[in-house]
Structure formats: structure tokens, C-alpha cells
Amino acid sequence: MKVCYIFSGGIMNDGDLTAFELPAADFVICADAGYVYAKKCGFAPDILVGDFDSLKDVPVSDGFPTEKFPYEKDDTDTMLAIRKALEENADEIIIFGALGGRADHAFANIQSLNFIAEHGKQGIIVSENEYITIVRPGEYTFKRKENFSFSLFAFSEKVENIYSSGLKYPLSDGCLNYSFPVGVCNEMINDTAAVSFKKGRLLVLISKKSNHFPENE
């Protein structure tokens, strides 16, 4: 399995790389200002992509391969990096710095996970507070993390024939739809949670619990 790390230009914290158990990277791509985070974390990128409006200039002096794109384009810098990861035949694409900045870019980055799934690969957005992935029909296992909730959302009109176990509120032949968030804020009660389904596209979000809000907010 080939693993690609993408460093995007959103907000990145010191704990993002260690909050969850992640496989090592075989290939590293930086999207514009994501290069700053990668460099801080000690990663040498295999390639830099983007319009470089955030960095203000292409860091050619550092000697890494670079692909510069015009500012006016259809793809975000993160999507450019995702396309490059797919060109490199990555099986798993793990994206850092995809959240915490502008809401439009954060949502676009989450939506891009669906683009990755449509290409038969797995995309994951990771921060110290979240683990987000969109999966196709199949069987999946997720590890329990203390003080984190476990949520399932439909990322298609419907997700059908859902079975889940290891959760406080399991499902048996359940159905989620895109217009109602009934799967939010579940809780793992075993070391792992198993989820399977036969139709649709499912967004899985493992999120750190906050002391600022009640459990059922």
C-alpha cells in the first residue's frame, strides 16, 4: 500500500502528526503554504504544487520539484495535490492542515475526500482533534480513542444496510440520509468499532470531545 502525505495550507498544530496512529509516508506533497508546516515537522517534500499566493513566491532556492499554477483556476491547491497523489498511484492519501482556516476551504477539503473515494482510494483528513474519512461500501474497523466521539454521516442521498458494533448506539440494517444528522456523537465502548454498509457513501468523523458543550448539543 502506497501512502501519500499532503500538507495543506490551513491551520496545523504540533499534535496533528501524533494524535492518531498513521502509516509512514512513501510520498510527500505540499500545497502552497503547506510547505511551511512540512518543513517545520521535518518532512522534505517530493513535490510542491499550487499558485503560491500564500507563500508569495515559489521556494525554488530549496531545490524541490515544483509545479506552479495560475491563481484563477478551478482546483484548490489541495485538490491539485490530491490529483498529483492519484497520479503517483497512492492508495491512502492523508491530509494535514486541511481544517481550522477558512470555512469554504475546510468544506472543500472534506468534499475532496469524496473525490478520492470515487477514484477507488482512501482519503483521510487528520488534525489533533479530528480524523475524517469518506468510505465506499465495504467493511471497516476503527480504533477507539479516549475522549473522542464517533460520528457517521451520509455523504450521498442515502446510506443503506449499515451495520455497526462496538458502539454505544449500534446499527443493524440501518439507514442514514443526507438531510438529517442522526449519526452524530456516538461513542466507542470497545477497543474497536466495526462498520459495514452496502450502498451509498459514508463520512466517518472521530472528533475530540469539548468541555465547552454538553454531550447532546
pLDDT at 57: 63
> Residue 191 sits in a domain of what CATH number?
2.60.120.320
Radius of gyration of the chain (CA): 18
| Selected residue with higher pLDDT from 62 and 50 | 50
Whole-number pLDDT of residue 211: 55
142 and 52 within one domain: no
Would you state the pLDDT for residue 65?
81
Give whichever of 11-15, 42-46, 61-65 has the largest mean pLDDT: 42-46
Last residue of a domain, one of 128, 163, 197: 128
For 4, counting Cβ atoms within 10 Å of its Cβ (0-12 exposed, 13-18 middle, 19+ buried), the class is buried
Number of structural domains found in the chain = 2
Check residue 4 and give its pLDDT: 98
| 54 and 10 within one domain | yes
Cα–Cα distance for residue pair 142/66, rounded to 1 Å: 36
In a domain, 215, yes or no: no
Residues 164 and 108 in one domain: no
For 126, phi then psi, to 5°, come to -130, 135
Backbone dihedral region for residue 187 (phi beyond 0: left; psi -120 to 50: alpha; all else: beta): beta
Same domain, residue pair 110 and 44 = yes
CA distance linking residue 134 with residue 139, whole number of Å: 13
Residues 115, 45 share a domain: yes
* Residue 177 vs residues 84, 123, 180: alpha-carbon distances, Å: 32, 22, 6
* Domain annotation covers residue 133: no
For residue 15, give its domain range: 3-128
- Report CA 158 to chain centroid distance, whole Å: 21
The last residue of a domain, from among 76, 95, 128: 128
Residue 165 domain-assigned?
yes
Kindly tell me if the per-residue pLDDT of 101 is higher than 80.
no
Q: Each residue of 36-50: pLDDT tens digit?
A: 888 888 898 999 988
Among 141, 130, 124, 129, smallest CA distance to 5 is for 124
- Judged against a pLDDT cut of 70, whether residue 71 lies above it is answered with no
